Structures are given as C-alpha cells and as structure tokens.
Amino acid sequence: MNPRIRPALAAVATTLAIAAAAPAFAGKTLDAVKQRGSVKCGVTNGVAGFSAPDTQGNWSGLDVDTCRAIAAAVLGDPKKVEFVPLNSQQRFSALQAGEIDILARNTTWNLTRDASLGFHFTTITYYDGQGFLVPKKIKVTSARQLKNATICTQAGTTNEKNVADWFKAQNIPVKTIVFDSFEASFKAFFSGRCQAFTTDSSALAGLRNKEAPNPDDYVILPELISKEPLAPLVRRGDDEWFAIAKWVPNALIEAEEVGITQANIDELKAGSKDPAQQRLVGSGDDVGKLLGLDKDWSYRAIKAVGNYGEVFERNVGPKSTLKLPRGSNNLWNKGGLMYGLPVR
C-alpha cells in the first residue's frame, strides 16, 4: 500500500468509529414531543384490532400499542399519547401539516406513497391482504363468482384501486360503490346496498364479528387480491424521529425473537447474560444514545405493551375478538415474515 494512503485510511476509520459511537442530536419532532409531553398519533375512526375506542374513549389495538410503545420509549409513559382519529382522506394531509407526529392507521406501504408524499414508512407491523365479505344467502364461494355484483368500499384507499385492477385482470364486470368513510361503506353493505364488501382481510374479520347483525350470516371469501404491508409513517426531513419510529416497533419484534416478555423482562434485566437480551432490557451496551434516547428506551417500550407476539395475540390473535392466525405475521424462524433487525 502507498504509505501516503495508509494514514488517510486510518483517519477515515477513526472518524467513522467516532461517528458510530456519538449520540444522536435530537430532531425537531422529538423536541416538540418532549416539550408538549405527548406523542400525537394519527389513527382510524375505529377499526377493531388496530385502533378503536371503547365506550369510555379508551383506545386499543395493534396500531395503538405501537404509539404507546413509542411514548414509553421517548417520554417514559405509554399513556402520554394523543390519539387523533382520521379518515382515509384526512390521514396524509394531517401528517404533512404537522398535526400529528406519526400516522399508525392501517396504511399500506407502496411506491407511490413512499416516493411522492414526503413520508418515510418505518417498520411493517402487519402483513395483510385485501379480501371480500359476502352474505351467505347469495351462495357465492369465490370472488370470481361476483360477476355484475355491486361492491362497497372506501374512497381514497388502495382497496378501491385493487378491486378495479383485479376484476379487470379477471375480465369480470363489477360495479364499485365508494364512500367517504369506512363506517358509511360497511353500513351500506350490511343494509343490503351491496352484494360484497372489500377491505383488508383483518378488518373484514373485525367487521363480521362486531358490526354484522348476525356474524354467522356472512363469510369471507378465500381469495386475497393484493399485498398490504401495513406500517406507520412519519414526515421526511427529521431523520432522528424517523429512526426512533423505526426502531421502537422493531425492538418489539426482536424481543419476541430472543424471549423477552412483559412477565420476564424485569428478571432478565436483573440477571440475563445474553448480550441480545441485555441490549433490549437496558443492562448491556447503550444503543439508546444513538437514537437520542437513554439506555432504557426499549425496556420501557416492551414493559409497556409486551413483545410483538403479545401485541398481536392481545389485539388481533387468539385472545382478541378477531381470533386471526399468525400466518405471515409469525416470526421468520416460525414460518412467517416478521424479522427483527438487530438492535445492536
């Protein structure tokens, strides 16, 4: 090696090492969240399993737990979240205008949204697909039997475009009726205005269980006509907040991988010798400083809502009213697609 090059390479290596160890600067969103004392989280007007209020106004759901985990990591308290209900048309403009800090609202990650709206998607929290709900009385067992049927859906969603694309590709004529709100669309279906209703399959299960006059009178057809990777979004231009919004839900996934739960996290914090567990419970290497947070950021997030498996089970899985199987949302080493990036 040229002797003049060696010192230059050494200087570059030193610079990179210092940069890797340096704490992150707080971004403007994190500063605003800390000053306000809460995370403003954009959610649905009510989708069972993901974000829905009860009669007392208490929110629950998979997206809700994502926001609570971020509040726990950043502010030390999972209750310090302001939930802002938004319909499909409002959600993007609210994030663009700074009315919310994060949008966690059953939103599909696709190229158009990723590249043209000024947002960053963070971590996929649910792998979904669009399906169809129909009354049993019409005796349809496949979406391919919906020739000339009327189909209710919501405007401003990927569902509307997916229906048009799929039936066009199948050369099956249908009539789609779109509504401005999710509630208006499913109420029209249950009133008999449409022969089928289409949205993400997870939401179909919730609608059948909670909104149908008699759930046994309806069936979800077997076809999934799309890929719907659901993920929270943040505004571009604030890399520090983007990193936090990305790594908090990712930490919940890795916590499940390495066996950390709400029940055992304190025991592991006190005595675990596993480096991967130690980093997540705050007793090992301090990776929080790289996010502009303290050493216990992921400990608080997991302690608040549990690992990803616990979040899934409670909100959409066996312990919920939806009772959805893990399927694609199982861990990668159990046949699913959930893969936690290394927190190290």
Structure confidence at residue 26 as a pLDDT band (50, 70, 90): low
Q: Which 8-state DSSP code applies to residue 72?
A: H
Average pLDDT, integer, range 249-269: 98
Is residue 16's pLDDT more than 60? no
Kind and range of the H or E run holding 167: helix 158-170
Is residue 9's pLDDT more than 60? no
**3-state SS track over 262-279:** CCCHHHHHHHCCCHHHHH
Tokens of 199: 């949205």
Is residue 24's pLDDT more than 60? no
Structure confidence at residue 11 as a pLDDT band (50, 70, 90): very low
Average pLDDT, integer, range 243-269: 98
Domains along the chain with CATH numbers: 28-127+230-325 (3.40.190.10), 130-226 (3.40.190.10)
Q: Work out whether the CA dihedral 133, 138, 143, 147 comes out positive or negative.
A: negative
Q: Are 179 and 111 in contact (CB under 8 A)?
A: no
First to last CA, the chain: 33
With a CB cutoff of 8 Å and minimum separation 6, the contacts of 207 are 48, 133, 186, 197, 199
Structure confidence at residue 17 as a pLDDT band (50, 70, 90): very low
With a CB cutoff of 8 Å and minimum separation 6, the contacts of 199 are 130, 131, 153, 154, 157, 159, 182, 185, 207
Average pLDDT, integer, range 339-344: 96
Reduced to 3 states (helix: H, G, I; strand: E, B; else coil), residue 168 is helix
Note if the pTM is more than 0.85: yes
Mean pLDDT (the chain, rounded): 92
Average pLDDT, integer, range 219-229: 94
